[in-house]
């Protein structure tokens, strides 16, 4: 999946480059990185959501793969894939996956409550995005660990009205 | 467009016992955010699926809480450890009290 993601990112960057004519300048202007990058500090609302969900537990990056397009042409329909390599056994499993879109009117977009009977963490859906922003996929295990992955998505057409 | 609440679930044709399968689902629903107006300027009230419950046989194996941030005609794909022959049922509920149900039988290929 990492390979596919790399491919998608480079492909999207290439398309953006064709459109803009100068891909490097576009990428620099939009702050889109090609490698791992930490999201900006959450705004007040997102910070409150994170605190409510996870308290003071550290949110560590890892064990989650959030796969999204680097450029979303239509904010009304943006594909999302969330996967994790964490086990789904009766003793150790992922209890919930939270999808947070920082600059959406309702940032806590979805919560997926899971059980070991699903066998693995592999979810996909389509979401709306108002504007370019960080997206956070944060999951929680039955032992209380919190793991996350982040993606910055450039939105061309507002999908939230 | 299909009537609101018309839903489909798709699983692989041939399933072996114990296999982790991919389940695809789609339901017809406008998923209105409440932020848009009609061409005449009348507000369109929020109208969206807020809850999805997945049951395999007698047991609930997952439930999803959604907002109007999920795209129109919501699709969701998830996995299931197919370890018994039983119906897989999904129930979608919207914020206007609409409840929509769809089922598919999980059965194994004979060896």
Task: Report CA A87 to chain centroid distance, whole Å.
Answer: 20
A2-155 CATH? 2.60.40.2470
pLDDT given at position A45: 94
Q: Establish if B111 belongs to a structural domain.
A: no
The ipTM is 0.95
Q: Establish if B76 belongs to a structural domain.
A: yes
A contacts of B72 (beta carbons < 8 Å): 76-77
Domain that holds residue B13: 7-106
Mean pLDDT over B74-89 rounds to 98
Residues 27-66 of A with CB under 8 A from B: none
User: Using 50, 70 and 90 to split pLDDT, how confident is the model at A160?
Assistant: confident
Q: Which residue of A has its CA nearest to B83?
A: A117
The separation between the first and the last C-alpha atoms of chain A, rounded to the nearest angstrom, is 33
| Contacts of A89 by beta carbon, 8 Å cutoff, 6+ apart | A116
Name the percent of chain A lying above pLDDT 90. 69
pLDDT in tens, B2-29: 899 999 999 999 999 999 999 999 999 9
CB–CB contact B69 A161 (8 Å): no
Q: Establish if B30 belongs to a structural domain.
A: yes
pTM comes to 0.85
| Contacts of A94 by beta carbon, 8 Å cutoff, 6+ apart | A84, A86, A88, A114, A121, A139, A140, A141, A142
Distance CA A17, CA B4 (A): 40
pLDDT given at position A3: 58
* A89 close to B (CB below 8 A): no
CB–CB contact B59 A105 (8 Å): no
Distance CA A81, CA A93 (A): 19
Q: What is the CATH number of the domain that holds B83?
A: 2.60.40.10
Q: Which residue from B33, B67, B90, B99 is spatially nearest to A161, judged by alpha carbons?
A: B33
**Counted domains in chain B:** 1
């Amino acid at each position: 999946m990492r390979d596919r993601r790399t491919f998608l990112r480079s492909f999207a960057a290439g398309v953006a480059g064709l459109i803009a004519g100068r891909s490097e300048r576009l990428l620099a202007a939009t702050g889109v990185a090609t490698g791992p990058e930490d999201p900006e500090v959450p705004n007040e609302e997102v910070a409150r959501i994170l605190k409510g969900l996870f308290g003071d537990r550290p949110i560590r990056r890892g064990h989650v793969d959030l796969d999204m397009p680097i450029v979303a042409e239509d904010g009304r329909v943006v594909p999302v894939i969330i996967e994790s390599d964490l086990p789904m056994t009766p003793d150790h499993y992922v209890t919930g996956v939270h999808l947070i879109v920082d600059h959406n009117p309702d940032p806590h977009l979805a919560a997926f409550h899971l059980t070991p009977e699903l066998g693995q963490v592999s979810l996909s859906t389509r979401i709306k995005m108002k504007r370019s922003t960080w997206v956070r996929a944060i999951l929680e295990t039955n032992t209380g660990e919190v793991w996350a992955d982040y993606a910055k998505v450039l939105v061309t057409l507002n999908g939230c009205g | 467009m299909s009537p609101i609440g018309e839903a489909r679930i798709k699983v692989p044709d041939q399933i072996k016992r114990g296999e982790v399968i991919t389940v695809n689902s789609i339901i017809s629903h406008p998923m209105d955010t409440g932020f848009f107006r009609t061409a005449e300027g009348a507000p369109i009230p929020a109208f969206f699926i807020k809850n999805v419950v997945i049951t395999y046989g007698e047991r609930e194996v997952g439930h999803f809480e959604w907002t109007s941030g999920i795209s129109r005609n919501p699709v969701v794909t998830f996995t299931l450890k197919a370890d018994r022959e039983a119906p897989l049922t999904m129930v979608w509920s919207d914020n206007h009290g609409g409840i929509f149900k769809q089922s598919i039988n999980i059965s194994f290929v004979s060896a």
